[in-house]
């Protein structure tokens, strides 16, 4: 995968960054959304595919993106398709910081040091190339305004933005109500994005223990030797913090 194109996790994170405060909207659900965005990006790259409400690795070849390839390898090691809701709900400490640090290295954001309560060091992130953020937002606005079915990447971005609750951040107040409704409706235009978005919402609603029934998964029995469906999936490990006191990431 060429690095000239931004990945969905990067675009979702840029959408969530508040240009005025340098903080991320919906930080807790955003972490789930980033894990889900990795799945969609891997599907767009042809590495994984949906299998009912599960995710199966179809091509284990690396993409060239280290963070995505870490997720792909973890999926491959499972040896059997994993439920999307369990993958997304698994521990992924440090995933948001990993992507923020990557965007900083690429020059898309700049880290701004500060303090919380005058004591605890904090770091906020300001977008340095606002044209990129505007381009992402324009794609989303166009899909909402025109009603024309968007391309799979934009449809998946819309589905994830809705799933993590960015609608009220992007289209606030009563005047944004119709836009938020149309953002939600875009979820139907990409099957993989829809599967992942529903999984993100299921995790937030505490429904991870119950399988999402679908035509392809009805009546399916577990493969011999497969791990229990309720077993959580381990995710990207936390990146170590530098210094004697961990920097608090902007929320």
Pair of tokens at residue 195 = 């599967």
> Do 195 and 53 contact (CB within 8 A), yes or no?
yes
Among 42, 51, 38, 115, CA closest to 82: 51
Q: What is the CA 149 to chain-centroid distance, rounded?
A: 21
The CA distance from 237 to 97, in Å, is 11
The CA distance from 236 to 63, in Å, is 16
Q: What is the bridge-based pairing of β-strands 248-249 and 120-127?
A: parallel
pLDDT truncated to tens, each residue of the chain (251 aa)?
434 478 999 999 999 998 777 888 888 899 999 999 999 999 999 999 999 999 999 999 999 999 999 999 999 999 999 999 999 998 877 899 999 999 999 888 988 887 666 677 778 888 887 888 899 999 999 999 887 889 999 999 999 999 999 999 999 999 999 999 999 999 888 899 999 999 999 999 986 555 544 434 434 444 444 444 433 333 333 333 333 333 333 44
> Do 188 and 225 contact (CB within 8 A), yes or no?
no
Q: What is the pTM of this model?
A: 0.77
CA angle 231, 25, 175 (to 5 degrees): 120
């Amino acid at each position: 995968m060429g690095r000239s194109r931004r990945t969905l996790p990067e675009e979702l994170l840029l959408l969530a960054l508040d240009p005025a405060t340098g903080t991320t909207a919906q930080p807790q659900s955003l972490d789930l959304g980033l894990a889900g965005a990795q799945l969609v990006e891997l599907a767009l790259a042809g590495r994984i595919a949906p299998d009912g409400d599960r995710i199966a690795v179809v091509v284990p070849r690396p993409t060239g993106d280290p963070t995505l390839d870490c997720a792909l390898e973890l999926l491959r090691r499972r040896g059997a398709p994993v439920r999307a809701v369990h993958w997304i709900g698994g521990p992924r400490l440090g995933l948001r910081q990993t992507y923020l640090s990557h965007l900083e290295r690429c020059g898309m954001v700049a880290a701004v040091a500060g303090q919380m309560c005058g004591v605890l060091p904090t770091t906020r992130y300001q977008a340095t190339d606002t044209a990129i953020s505007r381009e992402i937002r324009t794609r989303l606005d166009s899909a909402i305004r025109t009603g024309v079915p968007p391309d799979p990447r934009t449809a998946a971005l819309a589905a994830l933005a809705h799933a993590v609750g960015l609608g009220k951040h992007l289209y606030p107040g009563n005047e944004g109500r119709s836009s938020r409704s149309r953002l939600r409706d875009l979820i139907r235009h990409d099957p993989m994005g829809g599967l992942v978005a529903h999984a993100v919402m299921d995790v937030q609603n505490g429904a991870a223990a119950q399988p999402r029934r679908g035509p392809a998964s009805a009546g399916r029995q577990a493969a011999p030797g497969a791990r229990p469906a309720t077993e959580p999936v381990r995710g990207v490990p936390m990146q170590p913090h530098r210094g004697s006191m961990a920097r608090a990431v902007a929320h």
